[in-house]
Amino acid sequence: MARSPFFVRDEGEVTRLSVSGRLTLSDLSAMTEEIGALFEGIGQGKLLMDLQTLDYVDSAGALFLLRVEEEAAKRSVPFEIVNMSPRVRSVVGIIDRRAVAPPPAQDGLRSVGLVEETGMTSVAFVEDIARSITFGGSLISEVVLSILRPSSVRWGDVLLYMKKVGVDGLPILGLISFLLGLIIAFMSSLQLKQFGANMYVASLVAIAMVRELGPIMTAILVAGRSGSAFAAEIGTMKVNEEVDALVTMGFDPVRFLAIPKVFASILVVPLLTFFSDLFGILGGMTVGVLGLDLTIHTYAQQTSWALEVFDVVSGVVKSMVFAVLIAGIGCQRGFQASGGAEAVGNATTSAVVAGLFLIIVADSTFAIILNYVRW
């Protein structure tokens, strides 16, 4: 505040507090600090607040005037405002005097204890599983119905999502898989070179990529790119009541929104897995040819000896299961969203986290089952 708008004059039994200029929000902080000082030094007589020369107040200025009045009442100082212009009066009149008083203490605000927090989290977890199972059931039944009646599937959307999940994701997947193959080959060659077993780098890279890393890397990438996008898309539709609109028009939202995404994922993720395997092997081959003095022919031959049809088929089956899990959980989290923008964000995060968790669980299950099937 450049200059104090207050001028105090002792007039015997009355202390006149003249306020001039403008009282606005930008001065409120400084004015509030001055309230106490204004009452220092005034006698036991009446305090007159003279607004004759006050040009303008906004709601913050009006708040200040009311706070001075409140302070006077608290100190039992007789108080009166004089020469208030109609404009100032109308602004003061619009302020609710109750708002000037301190807010009532709020009951019921207490921190939740550890036991209660654990219990609530556990209940929420169980409810979440129950919801997921329910959604899984309806998704499976819709998938079966769609297979029995292919004309009910929106194949245009399926193609669109195949492009989004597959074609658009291929460059980044190819790069990551290539680098992964390169790293595996490089790290393993450091050890195998000591035994003169450079040749087996090709086998190691091929088996690691085709059996485990190809499907897993593809699934992780699809969960991050597409699972989150599915959740965000459906979540936004849910909070905008578009899903409700579909229901009222007689559409099954799972069939309308989730089935195209699930079908597209089932068709495209195995293909992506195949490309991931291929790029990984190419990465290994780059190290083999440039760093280990192997020929392209030798590397390719060693790779083909190491791999069996069973490895490729199991990888494809695995990736189809991953596809269902990623698309399913993405859609389910989207349908679960309620509220506003924050709910969509939560749904997206939850879709990725739950998707990754389910991928690891499914992969572990496959590892155990395939171990028995293989022998």
Partner 1 sequence: MTDRNGGDGKVVEVEGLSARYGDDVVLQDVSLDVFRGEILVVAGASGCGKSTLLRHMIGLSVPSEGRVKIDGIDITVASEKTLRAVRRDIGVLFQSSALLGSMTLAENVALPLSEFTDLPAPVIDMMIRIKLSMVGLEGYEGHFPAELSGGMKKRAGIARAMALDPKVLFLDEPFAGLDPITSVELEMLIKKLNGGMGTTMVIVSHELEAIFNIAGRIVMLDKDKKGIIAEGDPRVLREHSPDERVRRFLSRKIEEKDRDRM
* Segment interacting with partner 1, rule: CB under 8 A, options 92-100, 132-140, 141-149, 247-255: 92-100
Q: Which of 32, 52, 121, 191 binds partner 1 (CB under 8 A)?
A: 32
Q: Is 116 left (phi over 0), alpha (psi -120 to 50) or beta?
A: alpha
Site membership for partner 1, residue 26 (CB under 8 A) = yes
The mark string for 106-145 relative to partner 1 (x by CB under 8 A, - otherwise) is: x---------------------------------------
**In this complex, which beta carbon is closest to partner 1, that of residue 23 or of residue 139?**
23
State how far the Cα of 301 lies from the Cα of 295, in Å rounded to an integer.
10
* Segment interacting with partner 1, rule: CB under 8 A, options 20-28, 111-119, 295-303, 323-331: 20-28
The C-alpha angle 282, 287, 291, rounded to 5 degrees, equals: 155
Site membership for partner 1, residue 1 (CB under 8 A) = no
First-to-last C-alpha distance (Å) of the chain: 86
Closest CA to 31 of 64, 79, 59: 64
Is the CB of residue 312 less than 8 Å from the CB of residue 276? Answer: no
* Segment interacting with partner 1, rule: CB under 8 A, options 141-149, 209-217, 329-337, 340-348: 340-348
Site membership for partner 1, residue 28 (CB under 8 A) = yes
State how far the Cα of 219 lies from the Cα of 240, in Å rounded to an integer.
30
Is the CB of residue 264 less than 8 Å from the CB of residue 229? Answer: no
Q: Is 293 left (phi over 0), alpha (psi -120 to 50) or beta?
A: left
Q: Which of 14, 95, 199, 207 binds partner 1 (CB under 8 A)?
A: 95
Q: Which of 13, 43, 80, 87 binds partner 1 (CB under 8 A)?
A: 87
Positions in the binding site for partner 1 (CB under 8 A): 24-26, 28-29, 32, 55-56, 58-60, 63, 87, 90-91, 93-96, 98-100, 102-103, 106, 339-342
